């Protein structure tokens, strides 16, 4: 599937992903849950590769929510190990393709070695601008908004405006998503970028995240291109 020159211009600049279905995929395949998460990380690589070819500028992946800490200790432990492996294995790819890596969320709950890897990769790629790759880790949108308002209050700013709140969010330097894609058939936002996606287009697919191929990604983009964004207007 290809896009015409006119369609290319209509592609979203920022796409946010709610990557759902790793555990269901593992259950369907009768393999350990961590294998589903491993396959999910491979899907991320495919999405990044295709996005680079389409010159899409921003990708945000909802990798680990604040609620995910409530999962079994064993699963959380293995997820952290998988994150470490992903960060280590993708360093060369990020540098080669000049991908700017960053993260949002409260990383203080992760073990020190992970925090160190996240910060080092962010620093190493801070000058790149070919594609901006954002991982949402230990992230919850309600907490983000509350913290933004508390920080505004500490500064004794008298009038709280939408712009003021936006400027105090973790995403203050990142444009709002144009498109949100959620896999696995669920139709909810799960406390993800609630402020930022007020006018984003939403795309839901029954496909499980590990099975979300490049061709299915292109279908989502084709669907987006056909839409007419109104931003609350007629």
Give the three-state DSSP class for 38: helix
H/E run at residue 184: none
Cα-based distances in Å from 49 to 19, 113, 159, 160, 178: 17, 27, 44, 40, 19
Start-end of H helices in the chain: 5-8, 22-29, 33-54, 73-96, 112-124, 141-154, 162-166, 214-226
What are the angstrom distances between the C-alpha of 213 and each of 22, 124, 161, 210?
A: 14, 29, 41, 8
Q: Is 156 left (phi over 0), alpha (psi -120 to 50) or beta?
A: left
Question: Would you name the residues annotated as active-site residues?
Answer: 20, 68
Q: Say how far apart CA 16 and CA 193 lie, in whole Å.
A: 9
Rg (C-alpha) for the chain, rounded Å, is 18
């Amino acid at each position: 599937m290809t896009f015409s020159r006119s369609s290319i211009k209509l592609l979203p600049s920022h796409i946010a992903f709610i990557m759902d279905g790793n555990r269901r995929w593992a259950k369907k395949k009768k393999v350990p849950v961590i294998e589903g998460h491993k396959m999910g990380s491979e899907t991320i690589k495919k999405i990044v590769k295709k996005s680079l070819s389409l010159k899409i500028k921003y990708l945000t992946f909802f990798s680990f929510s604040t609620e995910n800490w409530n999962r079994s200790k064993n699963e959380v432990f293995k997820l952290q190990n998988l994150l470490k492996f992903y960060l280590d294995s993708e360093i060369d790819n990020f540098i080669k393709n000049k991908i700017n890596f960053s993260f949002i969320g409260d990383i203080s709950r992760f073990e020190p070695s992970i925090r160190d890897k996240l910060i080092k990769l962010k620093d190493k790629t801070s000058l790149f601008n070919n594609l901006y790759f954002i991982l949402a880790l230990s992230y919850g949108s309600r907490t983000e908004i509350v913290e933004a308002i508390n920080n505004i209050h500490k500064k004794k700013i008298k009038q709280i405006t939408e712009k003021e709140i936006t400027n105090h969010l973790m995403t203050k330097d990142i444009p709002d998503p144009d498109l949100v894609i959620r896999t696995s058939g669920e139709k909810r936002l799960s406390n993800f970028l609630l402020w930022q996606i007020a006018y984003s287009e939403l795309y839901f697919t029954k496909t499980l995240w590990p099975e979300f191929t490049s061709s299915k990604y292109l279908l989502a983009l084709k669907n987006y291109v056909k839409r007419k964004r109104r931003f609350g207007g007629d």
